[in-house]
Amino acid sequence: MRKAEKLPDAIQNIEEIFKQIGSKQPALFLDYDGTSTPIVPNPEDAILSVQAKKILKQLSQKINVSMISGRDREDVAAMVDLNSLIYAGSHGFDISGPNGLEMQYQSGMKALPDLDEAEKNLTKKLKNIKGCKVERKKFAIAVHFRNVDEQEVGLVKNRVEEELKNQDRLKKGTGKKIIELKPDLDWHKGKALTWLMKKLDLNGAQYIPIFIGDDVTDEDAQKVVEENGIGIIVDPIDSETSATYKLKDPEETIRFLAKLNDRLKA
């Protein structure tokens, strides 16, 4: 792990990255919120720019592009709205893509009734806290407190902890102004990335994975590409990371992707 802020910038060092790619074919894995789109007060307003969509479309015609998100799979797929991409939602528990690619992490299915119950309880427990939002994804629940008065954030956190105590099969996750409840299983974005590399037959020496992410849940994927790929962290504020390059913000992610797209032959 290293200090994210101290990493070399991926755009300033693009030639070094291209050298590392060499004649290999990149397999691109991207996070959505905070990486492909800027963080905004309401999740439904995190719209992918026209430019970003155009570049992702072009890239997906040349290489494998997967969006590995904490969002529900259907939600992130609808936000991106390109059927040439692979979508891994609920932090990798739910995957689908072109040519009939489908995977729902089976052990996670057992936690669905627990998630249903926790969603019901949390909706009740948090309904009177202004600005608090309970977002159900198939395999996770995010409790958003970005729009909650600072003085009430502690209350939100306590109520989530209270619910977690009743849920043996769920564990806590964190993110940007969210607390999550997810199946207490050893499955995450890193495992999903590894699964995809194998499933898509991308483990040969001719391929190189590139992962770009901005948040704590992205670190599992950064670790996977650390040895044999390229990991890039976006918005590297005061954090430890397994990534090897940084980018300032999602706008720079798109600039980086445009450069990668230009470099790849049609």
Ligand X SMILES: O=P(O)(O)OC[C@H]1O[C@H](O[C@H]2O[C@H](CO)[C@@H](O)[C@H](O)[C@H]2O)[C@H](O)[C@@H](O)[C@@H]1O
- Positions marked active-site: 31
| Span from 67-75, 110-118, 155-163, 254-262 in contact with ligand X (CB under 6 A) | 67-75
Query: 22 and 227 in contact (C-beta within 8 Å)?
Result: no
Interaction of residue 250 with ligand X, rule CB under 6 A? no
Site string for ligand X, 106-135 (x = CB under 6 A): -----------------------------x
Site string for ligand X, 191-220 (x = CB under 6 A): ------------------------x-x---
| Span from 8-16, 78-86, 175-183, 220-228 in contact with ligand X (CB under 6 A) | 175-183
115 phi/psi in degrees, rounded to 5: -65, -40
CA distance 151 to 172: 22
Kindly tell me which residue out of 7, 26, 34, 196 binds ligand X, with binding defined by CB under 6 A: 34
CA distance 90 to 139: 5
Query: Between 153-165 and 112-126, two packed helices, what is the crossing angle to 10 degrees?
Result: 150
CA distances from 245 to 27, 175, 196 (A): 17, 21, 23
Our CB check for ligand X shows the closer of 41 and 98 to be 41
CA distances from 181 to 58, 136, 146, 184, 187 (A): 36, 10, 17, 9, 14
Our CB check for ligand X shows the closer of 111 and 142 to be 142
Interaction of residue 177 with ligand X, rule CB under 6 A? yes
